Amino acid sequence: FEAAPLAFEEPEVEWARLERWKRDDPIALQDALNTSQALVQAVKDADAGEVRAVVANAEPGEIMQAFVLQAAALALRSASLELVRLLASLGAPLGHDELQEAVHLVCEVTSRDNFSD
């Protein structure tokens, strides 16, 4: 977790943890949802500092994989090289099957103004 906090685990492992939290610790489940939503909002706001803060303050397993993919797609769609690099450095799986159209997203939003970023 320390080296790559956004790296994915097996989906079954995440699912089992979320089910366990739902059954035994609904507050932990709500914390995970809030933290995951905060990551996505920080990317929407193009706030790299807040992305770092959310990830630094997250407990292991607290950032849900679907939200990591959503954050990565938003960063790519906004053509924010800074955010894409940051998410990649934190372990976001940019080669994930759900992001297979990412190159097309980047091509669609690349312009003369943002090409040199």
**Distance separating alpha carbons of residues 28 and 5, to the nearest angstrom:** 17
Domain count, the chain: 1
What confidence score (pLDDT) does residue 100 get? 86
Asked if residue 115 is part of any domain, the answer here is no
In a domain, 6, yes or no: no
Q: Greatest CA span in the chain, whole angstroms?
A: 52
| 77-100 residue pLDDT tens | 988 889 999 999 999 999 888 888
Domain that holds residue 87: 11-109
Alpha carbon distance 37, 51 (integer Å): 11
Report if pTM > 0.75. Answer: yes
**Is 2 part of a structural domain of the chain?**
no
> Is 4 among the domain residues?
no
Separation of alpha carbons 86 and 5, rounded Å: 12
Query: Does residue 57 lie in a domain region?
Result: yes
**Residues 13-69: tens digit of each pLDDT:** 999 999 999 999 999 999 999 999 999 999 999 999 999 999 999 999 999 999 999
Query: For residues 33 and 61, what is the distance between their CA atoms, to the nearest angstrom?
Result: 11
